[in-house]
């Protein structure tokens, strides 16, 4: 690159890599408007945090009487957002940054193999193994057997109980109630442990993406006027997906963990914007190093969100949930909400 002169290019002898890298390179784009950039810290903090909290509040504070369909819209719109984020806002940028047609993907060891899909695949498989390991751990710990359902005493059998047993019906009912309560608590505990690991991975992937977005908003140039409002919606919709997923996890009553996790997401982008402003005159988001870092992080996050969106959200909620509603009206509403979330988030990919 040091000997490449863009003002004197011989198309017969020039290395195409030099041209690609020159066209992809950029300088620091910061162009002032510090007040507007500072306002973005607080606007994104307030709006995205509030939207992230909404599904959790709707589920955990029943006295607010939030209509069921409002909650369902938030939950499944958020699921669609997560799926679209994986493909449009993570996978596509990762290819732009380290894919085979990028400057990074054409140079050095990056040019020897298609690393972008390999990183996505490795990330996806790692999350699958983590999810499967957590599932198996819970099965072993609680002695769950998938093949053998627990025997249920039939009414016929109960009608032929010995007289002594019938005389102790009140005691048996009390013991059965206590046992049922214990089973319910055990089920909630198992369900929580199975789901919380997958959720933490999901939030980890989204936070990676949010850090990069925040840094870029702090230093971007003339695109700032368009990027600012788009990212307010972008981060809010992602937050809705995070909150919706969290609302389905059976946290113990009084647990502060969901509120902490919601706040963590809400704080990530504003803090990253502040960091971007701190390096606003030196950080170059189009540099070779920045492309490698953001490309690798985007590819990792894409694998995480592809698995989580398709398996944990869509497949688990729509295909494999034994308690899924059979109400066609409600199912149609859930599917349309999911498609709307995916469509809106995909549309935002035109600008951010």
Q: What is the pLDDT of residues 113-145, one digit of tens each?
A: 999 999 999 999 998 998 888 788 877 877 766
Domain presence at residue 262: yes
Tell me the per-residue pLDDT of 243-277, one tens digit each, with 9 for 90 and over: 888 888 888 877 888 889 999 999 999 999 999 88
Spatial separation of the C-alpha atoms in residues 342 and 240, rounded to whole Å: 12
Spatial separation of the C-alpha atoms in residues 232 and 217, rounded to whole Å: 11
Q: Is the pLDDT of residue 179 over 50?
A: no
329 pLDDT band, cuts 50/70/90, is very high
Domain presence at residue 194: yes
Tokens of 271: 């803090």
Q: Total structural domains in the chain?
A: 1
Domain presence at residue 288: yes
Domain presence at residue 337: yes
Tell me the per-residue pLDDT of 67-110, one tens digit each, with 9 for 90 and over: 889 889 988 999 999 999 999 999 999 999 999 888 888 888 89
Domain presence at residue 138: yes
Domain presence at residue 153: no
Q: Is the pLDDT of residue 111 over 90?
A: no
Domain interval for residue 302: 30-143+175-350
pTM of the model: 0.79
Question: Is residue 292 within 8 Å of 106, Cβ to Cβ?
Answer: no
Domain presence at residue 1: no
Domain presence at residue 344: yes
**What is the SS3 string spanning the chain?**
CCCCCCCCCCCCCCCHHHHHHHHHCCCCCCCCCHHHHHHHHHHHHHHHHHHHHHHHHHHHCHHHCCCHHHHHHHHHHHHHHHHHHHHHHHHHHHHHHHCCCCCHHHCHHHHHCCHHHHHHHHHHHHHHHHHHHHHHHHHHHHCCCCCCCCCCCCHHHHHCCCHHHHHCHHHHHHHHHHHHHHHHHHHHHHHHHHHHHHHHHHHHHHHHHHHHHHHHHHHCCCCHHHHHHHHHHHHHHHHHHHHHHHHCCCCCCCCCHHHHHHHHHHHHHHHHHHHHHHCCCCCCCCCHHHHHHHHHHHHHHHHHHHHHHHHHHHHHHHHCCCCCCCCHHHHHHHHHHHHHHHHHHHHHCCCC
Percentage of residues in the chain with pLDDT exceeding 90?
Answer: 34
């Amino acid at each position: 690159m040091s000997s490449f002169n863009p003002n004197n290019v011989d198309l017969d002898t020039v290395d195409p890599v030099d041209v690609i890298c020159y066209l992809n390179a950029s300088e620091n784009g910061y162009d002032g408007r510090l007040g507007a950039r500072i306002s973005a810290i607080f606007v994104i903090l307030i709006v995205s945090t509030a939207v992230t909290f909404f599904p959790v509040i709707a589920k955990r504070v029943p006295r607010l009487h939030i209509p069921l369909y409002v909650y369902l819209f938030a939950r499944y719109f958020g699921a669609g957002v997560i799926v679209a984020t994986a493909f449009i806002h993570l996978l596509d940028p990762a290819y732009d940054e380290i894919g085979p047609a990028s400057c990074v993907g054409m140079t050095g060891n990056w040019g020897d193999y298609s690393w972008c899909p390999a990183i996505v695949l490795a990330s996806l498989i790692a999350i699958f193994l983590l999810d499967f390991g957590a599932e198996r751990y819970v099965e072993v710990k609680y002695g769950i057997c998938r093949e053998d359902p627990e025997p249920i005493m039939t009414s016929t059998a109960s009608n032929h109980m010995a007289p002594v047993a019938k005389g102790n019906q009140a005691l048996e009912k009390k013991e059965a109630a206590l046992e049922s309560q214990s089973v319910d608590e055990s089920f909630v505990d198992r369900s929580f442990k199975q789901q919380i690991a997958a959720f933490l991975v999901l939030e980890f992937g989204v936070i990676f993406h949010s850090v990069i977005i925040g840094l870029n908003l702090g230093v971007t140039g003339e695109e700032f006027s368009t990027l600012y409002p788009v990212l307010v919606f972008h981060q809010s919709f992602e937050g809705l997906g995070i909150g919706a997923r969290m609302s389905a996890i059976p946290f113990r009553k009084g647990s502060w963990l969901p509120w902490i996790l919601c706040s963590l997401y809400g704080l990530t982008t504003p803090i990253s914007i502040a960091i971007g402003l701190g390096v606003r005159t030196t950080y170059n988001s189009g540099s070779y190093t920045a492309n490698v870092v953001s490309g690798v992080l985007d590819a990792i996050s894409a694998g995480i969100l592809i698995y989580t969106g398709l398996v944990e959200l869509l497949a688990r909620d729509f295909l494999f949930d034994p308690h899924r509603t059979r109400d066609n009206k409600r199912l149609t509403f859930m599917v349309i909400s999911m498609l709307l979330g995916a469509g809106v988030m995909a549309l935002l990919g035109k600008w951010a």
